[in-house]
Amino acid sequence: MKTIQSLVFVILILLLLNVSASLLFAKAPTTPKILFTSTRDGNYEVYMMNLDGSEQVNLTQHPGEDMSAVWSPTGDKILFVSNRQGTRVRDLYLMDPDGSNVRRVFKKKAKGRREGPAWSPDGKQFVYSYTDWDRGEFGLYLGTFGEEDAERLPYGGAPEWSPDGTEIAYSISHQFGARLTFMDVWTRKLEQPLPDKALQWQYMPSWSAAGDRLAISGNKHPIPAILDRDLHEAWRDKTTVFIVNRDGTGLRQLLEEAGPAARVSALSPDGSEILYTQEINGHYQIFKIDINSGVRTQLTHIAGPFRRTNSGGDWFDPAYALPVSPQPELLSTTWGQLKSEK
């Protein structure tokens, strides 16, 4: 009997060690990678590819809809959105860079939609959008990994945490447009450095690793007052890609308005290229543009059963990742500064 008990004990220990090891040794990519969403396999799935669009790999392979994946600051985890707990519900999940070890962030199932997550630079917290129209709940929330409660933040959408950890950039819609907004993480004070007269619609911000500038989607034109479908389509297609300094200066349009809408996905860590999504030949594809030369490169080409075939994108470059688990005292130092000091 003792022998059987000992054997069971040993097996349990080995199982626990195996689980612990899988959690401990999840490895970040050693070369730059891009996460994106694609419907090429029949539903929304999370994919990974190289910076030139090669080696596109499906990470999720699940019948549910998986999307909006973002890298952890050290690249050893991926945070993404899925409806695998119910078609009307979207919740946040974590997985390893190879698509394994999938687990929900919150134990308590969402009643609405948790979407658009962004990591804090120390990897301990995250900000996301939440919508539950049945209960009249919507806005931004601040969560902490390992905790069930989340703090409600001022209204807005498409949040992105600054690399130094001091503020969150997001967009606040109003009657005539949308404003790029910065919220101080500690004081909750809001700042909007880019006026409407410079750009009527300012949304989907993405930081450079140095935190000195952002890529944003923008539209210079007021939304048509007449609810005419053709007018709205024409207005929507004027949305394009801009770069702007953190203080609101240096606003520069990088893509012409002609053609379908182009929406920003991510600014490269070194601030030299921008990922964006644009429709071409009836399907959405992912492109990147060099900020200095204006050279554009199409990264995805595969069509799928849905119009929104390939979209989004999040950039991880190990050269700009923190070399160890970030410490709170590092939050006052930008990733760009850390890299330059190596």
CA–chain centroid gap for 55, Å, is 21
3-state helix, strand, coil in the chain (%, to 5): 15, 40, 45
The pLDDT value given to residue 87: 73
The pLDDT value given to residue 129: 94
The pLDDT value given to residue 109: 82
The pLDDT value given to residue 227: 65
- Do 142 and 127 meet the contact criterion of CB atoms below 8 Å apart? yes
In single-letter form, the type of residue at position 3 comes to T
Kindly tell me the burial class for residue 303, based on how many C-beta atoms sit within 10 Å of its own C-beta (0-12, 13-18, 19 or more). Answer: middle
Closest CA to 328 of 144, 134, 71, 77: 144
Q: Three-state SS for 95?
A: strand
In single-letter form, the type of residue at position 108 comes to K
The pLDDT value given to residue 245: 97
CA atoms within 13 A on the CB side of 176: 8
- For tokens 């970030």, the residue is 326
C-beta contacts of 54-57 below 8 A and 24+ residues apart: 56/300, 56/302
Helices and strands (H, E) in the chain, number of each type:
3, 24
Tens place of pLDDT per residue across the chain (342 aa): 444 444 434 334 434 434 443 444 578 999 999 999 999 988 999 999 999 999 999 999 999 999 999 999 999 999 999 999 877 889 999 999 999 999 999 998 878 899 999 999 999 999 999 988 777 778 899 999 999 999 999 889 999 999 999 999 999 988 788 999 999 999 999 999 999 889 999 999 999 999 999 999 999 988 766 666 767 777 788 999 999 999 999 999 999 998 899 999 999 999 999 999 999 988 999 999 999 999 999 999 987 666 668 999 999 999 998 554 434 443 433 334 433 444
Extract the tokens encoding 306.
């849905």
Q: In this structure, how many other beta carbons lie within 10 angstroms of the beta carbon of residue 138?
A: 14
The pLDDT value given to residue 127: 97
At 337, which helix (H) or strand (E)?
helix 335-340
What whole-number distance in Å separates Cα of residue 330 and Cα of residue 323? 12
The pLDDT value given to residue 322: 59
